[in-house]
Amino acid sequence: MAGSVRAPVVFVISSLNELAVVARKCLPAANITSITPVQPGEISHQDEKKVLHSAEVLFADLPFISKYIYKAEKLKWAHSTWAGVETIMRHIDIEKPPRVFLSQGGTAFTDLMAEYVLGYILAKEKNIFGMYEDQKNKVWEPEEYKNPRLLSNLRLGILGAGQIGTRIGTFCKAVGMEVWGMTREARNNPDLPLDVYKTTKDLPEILQNCDYICSVLPTTPDTKDLLSGDILKHCMKKKSVFINVGRGTVINEDSLVTALRNEWIGGAILDVFNTEPLSVDSPLWSFRNVIITPHISGPCQTRLVVQTFVENYNKFVNNETLGGLVDWNGGY
Per-residue model confidence as pLDDT tens digits over 30-86: 999 999 999 989 999 999 999 999 999 999 999 999 999 999 999 999 999 998 898
DSSP type of residue 283: G
pLDDT at 2 over 50: no
Residue 325 falls inside a structural domain: no
Same domain, yes or no: 86 and 137: no
Are 142 and 257 in the same domain?
Answer: yes
In a domain, 116, yes or no: yes
Do 272 and 178 share a structural domain? yes
Residue 262 counted as domain residue: yes
164 and 245 housed in the same domain: yes
Do 70 and 35 lie in one domain? The reply is: yes
Establish whether the linkage from the previous residue to 142 is cis, with ω within 30° of 0. Answer: no
Q: Report yes or no on 176 lying in a domain.
A: yes
Same domain for 309 and 242?
no
Tens-digit pLDDT profile for residues 8-17 = 999 999 999 8
- Do 46 and 35 reside in the same domain of the chain? yes
330 part of a folded domain:
no
For the chain, what is the domain count? Answer: 2
Give mean pLDDT, residues 110-134. Answer: 97
Contact yes or no for 209/180 (Cβ under 8 A): yes
**86 and 54 in a common domain:** yes
CATH number at residue 263: 3.40.50.720
Q: What is the mean pLDDT of the chain?
A: 95
One domain for residues 123 and 64: no
Domain match, 45 and 169 both: no
Q: What is the DSSP string of 190-203?
A: TTSSSSEEEEGGGH
Please check whether residues 218 and 309 belong to one and the same domain: no
| 4 — pLDDT class (breaks 50, 70, 90) | low
Sign of CA dihedral 243, 225, 110, 34: negative
Residue 2 lies in a domain: no
- The reply to whether 307 falls in a domain is yes
In a domain, 322, yes or no: no
| 136 and 243 part of one domain | yes
Q: Give the domain extent around 256.
A: 110-292
Q: Which long-range contacts (CB under 8 A, 24 or more apart) does 86-93 make?
A: 86/218, 86/219, 86/220, 86/247, 86/331, 87/62, 87/63, 88/62, 89/220, 89/331, 90/66, 91/66, 92/328
Q: The whole model's pTM is what? A: 0.93
Which amino acid, 51?
A: V
